[in-house]
Chain A
Amino acid sequence: MDAHLYPAASAFEQPKRLPQILSTRTSSIAELKEDPEAMAFLKEALPGIATMTEGPIAIVFEAMSLRNAVVFGRVTQDAVDRIEARFTEINARRGLCR
């Protein structure tokens, strides 16, 4: 049995970012805030979204998804399900699928 090694890479290059699918499970709140169409809808569906990333724990909270936010009592499951349905429409219009 040989030990496995983890060699250092040679140089940093920014990875190529792929088109992002909107999702209540995999999109972070920070990422959603960067998407104007998603954010416009979220402001209607979730009036508290603007304040969700404010306050002392906001900096940690913004990496979470909307489904994560359910666990922490910030969003209801019903709301998340409605948002997911809308995201699916937007993704389809953008030609993005899972």
Chain B
Amino acid sequence: MSNKDFVTGRRGALGIVAGAAILPLLPPRGVAATDVPAPTSKTSRDIDFNEGWLFQRGQGSGLEVLGLDDKGWRAVDLPHDWSIEDIPGKDTPFDKDAIGGGPTGYTVGGEGWYRKHFRLDNVAADARVEIAFDGIYELGDVWLNGVPIGGSVSGYSPFALDLTPHLDRDGDNVLAVWVRNEGKNSRWYAGSGIYREVHLDIIPAGTSIPRSGVGAWTRRITGGVVEVEVTSKVSNPAAATELVTRLRDAAGRVVGEAKSTSAMEVRQLLSVRGARLWSPADPYLHILETELRRGGKVLDRIVQLFGLRIVAFGPQRGMTINGETIKIRGGCVHHDNGLLGARAFREADERRVRLLQARGYNAIRSSHNIASRSLREACDRLGMLLIDEAFDMWHVGKNPDDFSTRFKDHWSEVLQAMVLPARNSPSVIMWSIGNEIPRRATPEGIEWSWKLANAVRRLDPTRPVTSAIHGTLGPTLIPSEASARPGRAGKVDNASIVFLDVPGYNYRLEEIELEHQAHPERVVYASETFARDVVDYHRLMKANPYFIGEFLWTAIDYIGEAAVGRSEPVKPGTSRYALATWPYTTSNCGDLDLIGAQKPPSLARDVVWGLSPLEVLVHRPIPAGMVEQITNWGWPDELPSWTWPGQEGKPLSVRAFTVGDHIDVLLNGTKVAGKAISAADKMRALVEVPYTSGELEVIAYRGDRVIARRQLRTTGQAARLGLMPERSEIKASRQGLAFVRLSVMDASGKVLPDDARAVRLAVRGPAELVAFGSGNPRWTGSVQASATRTFRGEALAILRSTGKLGTVRITAETDGLLSASTTVQAA
């Protein structure tokens, strides 16, 4: 899919089947199969194992047994998340009394069972078979043919299990997975179930390349030559076998090659002349092939995508990629995909990346967990930088049932699960060992910080270790020679960051320049920021090389942390902690809402980041006797709207964001206000304008020159619905999705900016409706039913292909208005 196929509008995103006969060699996604020669044995990796599962929600015992009658179970295709489904017997996934409460968006966890029947008739008789889960929330135990074979240790860690010892190679096999999401274990919506992809690997017997056994990094770029160092592990290295590593360009041409005698570990150097580098502006991917050969026979092969780039950090130049300074314009994202819940569909993860890039973002912080493989690979393909994060807590928990209860036993496995599969991803710029870690500055916390940071460095010494620090940096102290980072022994540092290479700061705006005076050696960034501070951080970024950028909390609304970004009228004196969070179910702190539509803080950011010279917002009138209460993560209740029925003659607050130095405001062609904008105004001008319907125009000037005009026009009555697919095609595969935007429009086609009404959707053809809803943060109804309500004039339908070809017709209706229909082609 090219960028031009993806429709974004002015308002953000509006505007083997069991028993497969022959398992093909699958190249990495994005690589044409013809580019890669086929191996000579019937083995393969990365086989899609997402279809044909059975599911039963609720507790059960003995459901793992081979002969269980599971005919009554529900058929599901992965990824799957039962917490976003309607609660059995209700028409909503939300429950005001849910144990997780507001933090998990009032959704419900519990237990669920999955089963999958499959055959592997044509797999080599001695081949090893592994199943790889990219993530199960929160805990999963797995059985093959009634025999326990292992399970997960955390809700976000990819893990693989060996099926070989208990596999029936000639008959039916049954996998059973018992998943639990219980107690208070999360501070945000986590979802429940096998919510990420599952793959099968067929691995040759004897000599082979172990999972995540190949690590490559760009060592040097000089004189037009790129040197890539590759370290490959070999399981059971046999005599007379050689390890061949090749780098191909995107067209399949070999641009670098090294051959070595195989050993337990083989280190090779590839030199590539004139290679195209990877960068956010040009995310060019090479193909890294690793082959084990004996004579002319290929015994095993791993093929993966790889980007040639050097990312460096220093206080004089900040962060450079291939020698060019790049400032981070980043956003934190939780892992959910909005209305889809936690389901990590490739196309949904890719859509998130594209939506953010359309708004100028160049980096994502995967807060506060390991990113899905699908999100990370989308970042690789599209040039989005990524900080991957392991933990939200270490030895001291934030919730009674969270990962802290297992941390001491499983921290090392989680770090390996984060680093090893992702270390060849060019998008990953740092490894984060934590977010706002409690008790990190105590002696025990300091020791954990050292253990974690150095465990990461042993796994991958090519990227800096970071952590997101809130509050203070902790006591001053001096590390020893044995413990310190290079060059830091005997020098004063702070407890929370002494073992970090690049510390991240949450909400520490005022401290950054002050601390630089005492610690000019530090390279820092803001790992979480408030939207209201966008101008301050931008100025900080421009003025200070050592400050490499910011990550907004958050780039997109997410389910859970209900109401953290609320803004609403309250009686004067009301405590900010006194308000109930129900019926909020989402955070409401994103630049984009739950369906990807642009929100007011994003319009302001557009101006600051240079995407727009002028944006105009109008504050919703506050009822008499009330004041607006805005949380730190919130934004005033503004809209880009001049449709305020009932406010005729009353003054409305109009706020312009502009790079200009003054504005004029015209109402129906007559100037009604003007305002100069100084540096102290931080690109904002506030004026009061008595409301009359018509056209409000703001003109921005720099000196005498008009640099931009923006009009807000009063919309007419709702007249019809509109439907617009973001793409004209849907992939005819169970992983294929179509995102279709619904809007309520007046007779002239303008979207009603504050409309809320019931709408119904019908889908015919080879696709099913899997989500339907809006960006309303106070929505407590179903997000999978065929009826919902619009919010700010919009809703989003998400369709999933049935896997068949054909035309999908979507029709939307509402009472009293013209209906709308559209089609997408399943191809």
Contact = CB atoms under 8 A, between A and B. Distances in A.
A36 interface: no
B471 A68 contact: yes
B472 A60 contact: no
A18 B450 contact: no
Contacts of A72: 632
Interface in A1-60: 1-18, 20, 25-28, 30-31, 59-60
B438 interface: yes
A71 B632 contact: yes
Contact of B447 (A9, A12, A68, A71): A12
B462 A3 contact: yes
A23 B153 CA distance: 41
A6 B781 CA distance: 49
Contacts of A60: 398, 436, 438, 470
A71 B507 contact: yes
A73 interface: yes
B472 A28 contact: yes
A34 to B, nearest CB: 10
A75 interface: no
B189 interface: no
Which of B217, B457, B471 is packed against the most chain A CB atoms within 10 Å? B471
B779 to A, nearest CB: 25
Contact of B477 (A10, A16, A25, A64): A16
A30 B575 CA distance: 24
Which of B220, B222, B472, B496 is packed against the most chain A CB atoms within 10 Å? B472
Interface in B421-441: 436, 438-441
Interface residues of A, number: 36
Contacts of B446: 14-15
Interface string B471-511: 11111111110111110000011011011010000010011
Contacts of B577: 73
Contacts of A90: none
A28 B441 contact: yes
Contact of A63 (B222, B438, B461, B499): B438
Contacts of B440: 63
Interface string A72-98: 110000000000000000000000000
Given A63-B438, A63-B440, A9 B478 contact: no
Contact of A64 (B396, B472, B484, B498): B472
A3 B312 contact: yes
B198 interface: no
Nearest to B313: A4
A26 B482 contact: no
Given A4-B312, A18-B477, A59 B396 contact: yes
Nearest to B451: A12
A3 B219 contact: yes
Given A17-B475, A18-B476, A8 B458 contact: yes
B310 interface: yes
B4 interface: no
B396 A14 contact: no
Contacts of B369: none
Interface string B390-407: 000000111000000000
B269 to A, nearest CB: 13
Chain B interface helix/strand/loop/mixed:
loop
B217 A15 contact: no
B599 interface: no
A71 B480 CA distance: 36
Contact of A9 (B313, B485, B496): B485
A94 B457 CA distance: 40
B478 A68 contact: no
A72 B312 CA distance: 35
B482 A3 contact: no
Contacts of B484: 9
Contacts of A17: 475-477, 495
A73 B576 CA distance: 8
A67 B509 CA distance: 12
A73 B630 CA distance: 12
Given A12-B447, A68-B471, A2 B220 contact: yes
Nearest to B404: A59
B715 interface: no
Interface in B312-366: 312-313, 322-323
Given A8-B454, A73-B576, A3 B475 contact: no
A31 B313 CA distance: 32
A25 B492 CA distance: 18
Nearest to B444: A14
B438 A7 contact: no
Contacts of A8: 454-455, 457-458, 461
B810 interface: no
B237 interface: no
B603 to A, nearest CB: 24
B465 interface: yes
Contacts of B443: 14
B166 to A, nearest CB: 38
A91 B480 CA distance: 27
Contact of A15 (B454, B477, B576): B477
Interface string B494-532: 011011010000010011000000000000000000000
A35 B397 CA distance: 24
Interface in B629-677: 632
B41 to A, nearest CB: 36
A11 to B, nearest CB: 4
Given A28-B472, A63-B472, A5 B461 contact: yes
A10 to B, nearest CB: 5
Contacts of B499: 9
A82 to B, nearest CB: 19
B730 interface: no
A15 B479 contact: yes
A20 B476 contact: yes
Contacts of B396: 59
B152 interface: no
A31 B477 contact: no
Nearest to A74: B577
B23 to A, nearest CB: 37
Contacts of A31: 441, 472, 474-475
Given A1-B220, A1-B323, A6 B457 contact: yes
Given A1-B221, A25-B511, A59-B438, A11 B471 contact: no
Nearest to B577: A73
B462 A5 contact: yes
A63 B492 contact: no
Given A3-B462, A9-B483, A15 B495 contact: yes
B475 A12 contact: no
18 contacts: A6-B457, A6-B501, A8-B454, A8-B458, A13-B483, A14-B446, A15-B483, A15-B498, A16-B477, A16-B478, A17-B495, A28-B474, A31-B472, A31-B474, A63-B440, A64-B470, A68-B507, A71-B632
Q: 8 shortest A-B CB distances, which residue pairs? A: A64-B471, A63-B471, A15-B477, A8-B457, A8-B454, A11-B482, A59-B438, A13-B480
Given A6-B457, A30-B439, 9 more contacts: A1-B323, A2-B220, A3-B219, A3-B310, A5-B462, A9-B482, A20-B475, A25-B511, A71-B632
Interface of B: 217-222, 310, 312-313, 322-323, 396-398, 436, 438-441, 443, 446-447, 450-451, 454-455, 457-458, 461-465, 470-480, 482-486, 492-493, 495-496, 498-499, 501, 507, 510-511, 575-577, 632
Interface of A: 1-18, 20, 25-28, 30-31, 59-60, 62-65, 67-68, 71-73
